[in-house]
Amino acid sequence: MPELEQIRCEREQVLMDADSSLDHVFFPDSGVVSAVAVYADGSIIEMATIGREGCTAVQAVFGAKISSVRLLVQIPGGAAKMSRTAFTRAMERMPSFRDLMYAYVQAFLEQVLVSVACNGAHSLKHRLARWLLTMRDRGDDDSLQITQSLLAEMLGVQRPTVTNAARELERGGLIARGRRQVTILDRQGLVAASCECYQLVRARVASYLPKTYA
């Protein structure tokens, strides 16, 4: 605890950029951070999301000193910040912490692997429903502070395309869209509208981190 600094993460804030020095590890407690790939033309696409179930330390667990991804704040909120040096020291000195981090790495990889398959197998409407549910699981509010533009970037589509998918969910009474905000009106209906990948990831994460969904 003495090594942790409490910080506030703002919407679309870059906590760490790709190819930069991996100096810190972040533990979100109310916000959500995306690990995104950055391409030569400046475009980005989401690879995984990190909320209060984990941290941004997957690469640091294995001793990496350079970040290969950009860490972008999706949902604003609080987080604890820790230096990579202190994180490495805790891994070495605290077996229980080390075991928990190894379990989280496995859960994180499950999320990435399922997401890769989902992107190729399921429609944008299904993927959007899954993404919104994943964001909701990390917080305590049905209103998600997210823009249509950022949604499009994260899902790897054009803004009009994600807008059409969101309209379908809205017409079904599952969500309501506002300025820079999406509100979930019917969570169970959204689960039904999502693909099976949402429940699959939940089950696999729970198997590695059983207290996550307690």
The mean per-residue pLDDT over the stretch 38-48 comes to: 88
Strand spans (E) along 39-117 = 44-50, 70-75, 77-83
Q: pTM of the predicted model, to two decimals?
A: 0.89
Question: Which segments of the chain belong to CATH 2.60.120.10?
Answer: 1-85
Distances from the Cα of 159 to the Cα of 76, 119, 121, angstroms: 21, 17, 21
Q: Tens digits of per-residue pLDDT, 81-105?
A: 999 999 999 999 999 999 999 999 9
What whole-number distance in Å separates Cα of residue 148 and Cα of residue 76?
A: 16
Four-point Cα dihedral 195, 183, 47, 57, nearest 10: -120
CATH 1.10.10.10 domain residues, the chain: 119-208
* pLDDT value at residue 23: 96
pLDDT at 145: 87
Report whether 154 contacts 74 (CB < 8 A).
yes
At the top level of CATH, the class of 119-208 is mainly alpha
Domain 1-85 has CATH 2.30.30.30: no
Q: Among 6-15, 73-82, 139-148, 195-204, which stretch is predicted with the lowest mean pLDDT? A: 139-148
**Statement: residue 140 has pLDDT above 80:** no
pLDDT of residue 213: 61
- The predicted structure's pLDDT at residue 34: 92
Q: In what order do the strands lie in the sheet with 143-144?
A: 143-144, 181-184, 175-178
